Amino acid sequence: MALYLFERTGGTLNTANVKNIITQAGKNRQQPAIYNPALYTYEEKSTKKVQASGPGDMATSPLEHAATQLGFKNTSVLFVAEGADDDNDADMPAARSIGSITPSIGNLLGATQYGVSIKMDQATVEALSNGDYSLYGFKAVQSSAGGGRPLVWFKSTEFGLDTGVSWEVQYEAYTSRSAIIPNGQIKGLSSYPIDLGQMLEVETPQGTGVVVDGTAGMISIENRTATQVTCGISEVVDGTPQPLCAFPLYGNGLDAIVPIQKVMFTFSTRPVNTGTVIEQAYSQSILIDLTAKTNREVSFDINKGWAWGGYSWAQAIRPSTNVVPLLIESNAF
């Protein structure tokens, strides 16, 4: 017997909602036999918290993504190990089931949420706002595949004296027919929720397919057609999966990608959208490594640039620097 604790902040949640979430997760992953609400018994712990007891076969990331799809934003799912049958145990935070992770790759995702706090003074905030600046974010990956490029992961014009950026360990694998060209945008995604240790099998020239078991510690995408497509992974930021990299996937080929906890931030007036291919830094940027700690604090000054105390977990990136090797790390798995 396993326990799943569904909890929502900023809204209510009941048994019927949770049943719909489980059903939707099964549709997304084409695994209705596993994500079957009839296999579970439910107890409403409060107006925001529901406990589901049953088989421990469901992964939490697809459940949380399904909750967002259905409009139940800010819903988290905690998995309590089998055998925990006490009510107090059910309310205790537990490790999320996110698949196997290979320690040698340096991607130890023990936590479920990561964040960076950006401190700025009033003069900097006013200068950025008056100058029509946007905050751009980029996320790093490791892969042995060639030709990969980072994408604009998120874009925001909402910032202030203390700007927080957070993201969750929830992934999707996607394909697209868009070409990978500098400053081009990757559009028309066929996207599927996926965990580390799973593989997207592309079955049609249009890029559609199914998610199956793959290689531990990585997200794999196999092209079972003779048509080249573009592929990559997305990660949830602000509740929405956004593509963060793009790789060419040739006919009958296989790309393996490992998301790592490195992010790059930059303020720029450049008018680009999420999903845009980037090769050079738009302006002075900062590359932050959150492998050892899930939250970091940095500061930005409109004249002095980025500051973080000079610690080894971050580095400044000069304008026009080639960021491809910084955000697409080569690794022979």
Q: 229: closest CA among 263, 256, 252, 199?
A: 252
pLDDT of residue 73: 80
301-321 CB burial, b ≥16 within 10 A, e <16: ebeeebebeeeebbbebeeeb
Quote the tokens at residue 197: 């240790």
Cα gap 51→65, rounded to integer Å: 18
Q: 113: helix, coil or strand? A: strand
Task: Provide the pLDDT confidence category of residue 126 given band limits of 50, 70 and 90.
Answer: very high
Q: Say whether 232 sits in a helix, a strand or coil.
A: strand
The pLDDT score that the predictor gives to residue 298 is 97
Percent of the residues in the chain that have a pLDDT greater than 70, as a whole number: 89
User: Would you state the pLDDT for residue 135?
Assistant: 96
Q: Span 2-90: which CATH code? A: 3.30.70
- Mean predicted confidence (pLDDT) in 181-198: 92
Q: What is the dihedral of CA 113, 62, 69, 73, to 10 degrees?
A: -30
Domain chopping of the chain, boundaries: 2-90, 113-330
CA distance 123 to 132: 14
Give me the pLDDT at residue 333, please: 53
- Estimate the crossing angle of helix 60-69 against helix 15-29, to 10 degrees: 110
**Single-letter amino acid code for the residue at 261:** Q
pLDDT exceeds 60 at position 109: no
Residue 178 has pLDDT above 70, yes or no: yes
In angstroms, the CA 180 to CA 187 distance is 11
Q: Is 239 left (phi over 0), alpha (psi -120 to 50) or beta?
A: left
Provide CB contacts within 8 A for 173, sequence distance 6+. 191, 192, 194, 200, 211, 219, 221, 231, 232, 233, 234
Q: 237: Cβ–Cβ under 8 A, 6 or more apart, which residues?
A: 137, 153, 154, 165, 166, 167, 168
pLDDT of 218:
94
Mean pLDDT computed over 1-9: 85
Place of tokens 């997304």: 28
Least confident of 128-142, 156-170, 177-191: 156-170
Distance CA 267, CA 279 (A): 16
Nearest to 169 by CA among 118, 97, 102: 97
Is the predicted pLDDT of residue 89 greater than 60, yes or no?
A: no
Sheet hosting strand 49-54, strand order edge to edge: 41-44, 49-54, 2-8, 75-80
What Rg do the C-alpha atoms of the chain give, in angstroms? 20
Cα–Cα distance between 262 and 313 in angstroms, integer? 9
Convert the pLDDT of each residue in 278-311 to its tens digit.
999 999 999 999 988 989 999 999 999 999 999 9
Q: Which of 186, 110, 115 is nearest to 153 (CA)?
A: 186
